[in-house]
Structure 1
Amino acid sequence: MPLDRSRGREVHFYNVFSPAQALGGLRLNDTMTEKAFLSMLQILIIASHPYSVSFRGTGVALTPTDNLLRPGDYDIIPNSPGGTIFITDEHSILRVPSSTVTGRDERFRQRVRERDKKCVITGSVNSEADLDEWSGFEAAHIFPIAGETLWISNGFSRWITNRTDEHDTGINSCQNGLLMLSNIHKKFDSYYISVNPDDDYRIISFSRGDPFHVAGRVLDPVCRAPNNEKSARDELLRWHFRQAVLANLRGAGEPSFETDFPPGTDMVGEILSGPQAAKRMEAELFSRLNGVSLAQGSLSQGPL
């Protein structure tokens, strides 16, 4: 069964003219600030005029400060008569956990490992990197390889400056990768953890209570050194942050899918019986076909 992102929300926000119908909400942790909340609403809210956001019943507008966001209801109020407030109809891009992909590009993994040598979210250093022992560490794609068609159609290749040739889309560049602990990787793929490059690379947790204690940390500088051609691109981090906001705050939120299947589980049946079955099946199949293609390419080239 898919997990419901709207369960356990402590914050809800409304069009002031429809105070009984929430536009969305979020689960709260003790690092969520008013500034962060307002920046997320800028992604979600479409308004004809400037607006303010106030804690219901106070009439006091929030300001972009580091004050912690209080649990409760927030009203979005147009600053001009006749101003209109809507929530975007944009959906986040469905992605499947990268760990399910076989034959992932070896060069991508190797280059991300060489650059980072640690989980750039938690700061946990791989003390056995010199032994080439990487158990528990995974190279994560910021933009998922299952979405390569979308990557190409939107021209995201323009952000990658170290492509090997004109046929290389760049999706497997280390500029589209971060090294993470495996459990953090799953949260990142599910949009429960993200990074806001426009807030000093602040790490945002969309889980209640921040169970992995990463919220409020800063993305490790090792993966984002200025003028380093191997560094992760801000444009891709910004894209991922937008997807995370859409997935977690917009309306009831996007479904979050179970990945811990016991042996013998009919995974196809689970997918087909759940929401967004066609899109999820397409993403799963594309990931696996992409992985097989990459694996065959690596074999034909010989050892790296």
Structure 2
Amino acid sequence: MPANRAAWRNVYFYDASTGAALGGVYQKGSLTETTLIWALNHVLLILEDYCTIKHRASGRLITLSSNPVVPGDYDIYSKGPIKVSDEAWIFRSISHSVSGPEDIFRDKVRARDGRCVISGVVNATAEWGSWAGYEAAHVFPLQHENLWIELDHGCRITNKDSAAQSSINSVQNGILMFRHLHTLFDQYLFSINPDDSYKIITFSPNNLGIDGRILDPICRDLNNPDSVSDEVLRWHFRQCVLANMRGAGEPIFETDFPAGSDMMATLRAEPYGKERFEMELASRFVDREGEASRV
């Protein structure tokens, strides 16, 4: 069964007028009051007017500040009813494989970043062409290219690269990171908030040492036309807020399928299982087509 994001929360939100639970979040330390106010008013809740947020134990109203959110229960006050948003959450495929047009994407992300931009660790073997352990991650998932086109996310890409067959494979939609961090990034367990000095915020207990770090500037140099798009980073951060803070939270999917394991049985038992299985098959079919075309 998928892991439960709500299980490790240490911050909880309640409708002050009804006592109904609205959601919550795990605070590792880097989530600020300003970010919480934004998340509740602009992402998580449907309100007639801005809400007021009170820490129940202290009676303190939170303010637009860089103060870290204190763990505990919070009561939400607002004029009129408070409803939880039904904004779509976009789940991602479990695949890390790349081929065909994605080779260009990978190579450009490697050339620009040269390091894991989350941890800041430089790839010391890059000059010999070894990138073991490092992966180029799409910020907006490649598996949802149809949605990318439908929502005109291509307008977020300012450097139109004729070498890329689709703007979703633009280097501006990618960042380089360690493989294990790529898995967590795809599961929406951490993200980058470009509106809080590019701070990295984690949404689950961990010993990764990345919570509160700042995204390495090498990938976001405004003088570089290949810099990662702030807009796609905002999209990913918003998805993390939806996945981790709304209601009971979204499922965390199994990603480890060694040889001989029954992937289909696992997917059948998970939410979005049918959709994920179809996406995985489609991505593998595209990979094989790409390999065949290069033979």
Give the TM-score normalised by the residue count of structure 1.
0.90
CA distance in 2, matches of 1:293, 1:155: 27
The residue that corresponds to 2:24 in the other structure is 25
CA drift of 1:173 comes to 1.1
- Evaluate the alpha carbon distance shift between residue 167 and residue 116 of structure 1 in structure 2; reply closer, same or farther with a 3 A threshold: closer
Give SS of 1:275's match. Answer: coil
Q: 1:289 aligns with which of 285, 288, 295?
A: 285
1:99-155 residue CA offsets vs partner (Å, 9 max, x unmatched): 1x3526111111000000000011011111111111111111101110011111111
Which residue of the partner structure matches residue 193 of structure 2? Answer: 196
CA distance in 2, matches of 1:32, 1:50: 20
Q: Which runs of 5+ in 2 are unaligned?
A: none
Alignment partner, residue 254 of structure 1: 250
Aligned position for 2:35: 36
Distance 1:152 1:14 in 2: 37
Matched, 1:243 2:242: no
* Corresponding pairs, count: 293
Find out whether 1:150 has 2:119 as its counterpart.
no
Contact 2:161 2:170 in 1 (8 A): no
Letter of the aligned partner of 1:39 in structure 2?
Answer: W
Q: In 2, distance between residues paired with 1:211 and 1:106? A: 32
Matched, 1:229 2:228: no
* Deviation per residue, 1:83-107 (Å, 9 max, x gap): 22211011320102341x3526111
Is 1:49 matched up with 2:45?
no
Distance 1:192 1:139, change over 3 A: same
Q: Aligned pair in 2 of structure 1 residues 288, 111: CA closer, same or farther (>3 Å)?
A: same
RMSD: 1.9
Q: Which residue in 2 is equivalent to 1:120?
A: 117
Partner of residue 7, structure 1: 7
Superposed CA deviations along residues 249-295 of structure 1, whole A, max 9, x for unmatched, are 11111111111234311112211222122222232233223433444
1:263 aligns with 2:263: no
Q: Distance in 2 between matches of 1:260 and 1:33?
A: 33
- Cα deviation for residue 166 of structure 1 reads 10
Identity of aligned pairs, percent?
A: 44
Q: Secondary structure at the match of 2:212?
A: coil
Q: Could you say what secondary structure the match of 2:169 adopts? A: coil
Which piece of structure 1 moves more, 164-173 or 258-267? 164-173
How many angstroms does 1:40 deviate by? 2.2
Partners of 1:76 and 1:239 in 2: CA distance:
25
For structure 1, the 5+ residue unaligned runs are none
